[in-house]
Amino acid sequence: MLRVAKVRTGGHAYYLEVAASPGGTGIEAPGQWMGPGSAAVGLHGTVEAGPLAAVLGGDDPVTGRRLGPSHHRVTVAGFDLSFCAPKSVSLLHALAAPDVADEVGAAHGRAVEAALDYVERRAVAVRRPVGGVPVPTPADGVPAAGFLHRTSRALDPHLHTHVVMANLGRDTEGRFSALDGRGLYAHGAAADALYHAQLRAELTHRLGVAWEPLRAGRADVAGIGAEARLAFSRRAAAIAAHLAERGLVGGRATAIAGHATRPARDPTVSADDLRPQWRRRARAAGLGPVRLEAVLDRVPRRDGAVEPALEPAVVEALGRRGPTATRRDAIRAWCTHLPAGAAAPAVEDAADRTVGALPLAQAHADRAERPGVGERRHAVVGRELRPPGAAEEAMTPERRSEHLGAERDLRRLLARRAMAPGGPPGREQGRARDDDRGIGLG
């Protein structure tokens, strides 16, 4: 899933260092300002240290004036969103001929742009009082700096982009304030799914690659092989060994193991320096030039499509996750049914049709649709698909009783999870999970 990490005030020195270097630092390329939020505050092109420090500190990068009267109290400077290509895509980018590598890089960049567009439209919000209660409100003008990385800390091929979003948004009246960060966590899985769907569609169209079976909305390029992927996954191997030595399993333990085994960055080593040894290791794992060439043009170079006939399967998948679902849940479900991917706008259109054909959950019937954690929930379990527009029709007493039952089932499920071994989640994680299920403000 998309990793969303807080960038604490004073904790962004690394990105300022990258921005201060004209050519990036070592294996990293210079950062680029991304999205309409950056343009709205006058930021374009290559990221420089001064403007980045300004927006992360809550200041206008052009005039230097403070944006938001209370921003001096904000302790989170921004949010780091990490969009990571599958290992097989990273290997194709690192080892293939230059023209193929360029197409892979362009596909990754387009997928990041599509996912960020979704985040800016659906996840970004500020909180404003409505009837005395703070609720998520649409926001724009959020500066975002993208930093493309091509290697892991273990110096294996690892194509990924860090998008650093300033903790700063402008409401519809032009007032800036800190973001309602819950929306970024709530929409992280949907944004990640859209990134991977767009990436598969781009690479199918550009290079004619085929895909291995989907796993949780992700897929590897067919023909690269598990042995090669494993040979270039030394960070994952180190984390797995750390967990095995201590008898630990997944979850928070994996995150801790990742920090415990993380080597220091070596900013002096470039991708050109690493490529000869990458190719030697690849040949040892059976991934030589001939096999890499055979990965291409396995299928016709065509655009991915969203087949309406898949909708019943998507609704069934939503029903397995719980009795109600949001639009972002529908996006994730659609992405898990698109082996060759599809353009992000087409996936969103399909998700709109899906939730539009489902009745609103009783508790959300009178709510307004809001960005961030304010999406309305729709009843799924035990419901047939309804024609578009029928979701707003008045419900019969029998149907209303079904909805109330679904809401009770949902709250019982959350109660059982809270009492599961290991206790309830931490405060911030718990709030994010509750918000992701539609509990809380909005």
Which tens digits make up the pLDDT trace of 120-173?
Answer: 999 999 999 988 899 999 999 999 999 999 998 889 999 999 999 999 999 999
Same domain, 340 and 397: yes
Same domain, 362 and 228: no
Residue labelled with tokens 């082996």: 339
pLDDT tier, 429 (very low <50, low <70, confident <90, very high otherwise)? very low
Same domain, 390 and 270: no
* Residue-number span of the structural domain to which 416 is assigned: 308-436
Q: Decide if 164 is inside a domain.
A: yes
Q: How many domains does the chain have?
A: 2
Is pLDDT of 207 > 60? yes
Cα separation, 82 vs 258, whole angstroms: 15
Nearest to 322 by CA among 373, 404, 378, 381: 381
Q: Decide if 441 is inside a domain.
A: no
What's the whole-number mean pLDDT along residues 1-13? Answer: 77
Q: Decide if 313 is inside a domain.
A: yes
Q: Specify the pLDDT at position 424.
A: 43
Same domain, 287 and 319: no
Q: What pLDDT digit, counting tens, does each position of 362-388 carry?
A: 999 888 899 999 999 999 975 444 444
Q: Which of 269, 294, 319 is the last residue of a domain?
A: 294
DSSP string of 294-351? Answer: HTTTSS--------GGGHHHHHHHHHHH-SEE-HHHHHHHHHTT-TT---HHHHHHHH
Q: What pLDDT digit, counting tens, does each position of 276-304 carry?
A: 999 999 999 999 999 999 999 999 999 88
Residues listed for the chain: 442
- Residue 257: CB atoms within 10 A of its CB come to 21
Confidence (pTM): 0.83
Q: Decide if 299 is inside a domain.
A: no
Same domain, 325 and 285: no
Q: Specify the pLDDT at position 201.
A: 98
Same domain, 175 and 122: yes
Same domain, 225 and 259: yes
Q: Decide if 131 is inside a domain.
A: yes
Same domain, 363 and 228: no
Q: Which of 264, 294, 324 is the last residue of a domain?
A: 294
pLDDT tier, 12 (very low <50, low <70, confident <90, very high otherwise)? low
Indicate the range of 248-262, 284-298, 395-409 predicted with least confidence: 395-409
The mean of the pLDDT values for the chain is 84
What's the whole-number mean pLDDT along residues 99-116? Answer: 98
Q: Is the backbone of residue 93 left (phi > 0), alpha (psi -120 to 50) or beta? A: alpha
Same domain, 31 and 100: yes
Same domain, 284 and 324: no
Cα separation, 79 vs 4, whole angstroms: 7
Nearest to 7 by CA among 139, 166, 180, 191: 166
Q: Specify the pLDDT at position 422.
A: 46
Cα separation, 360 vs 400, whole angstroms: 10
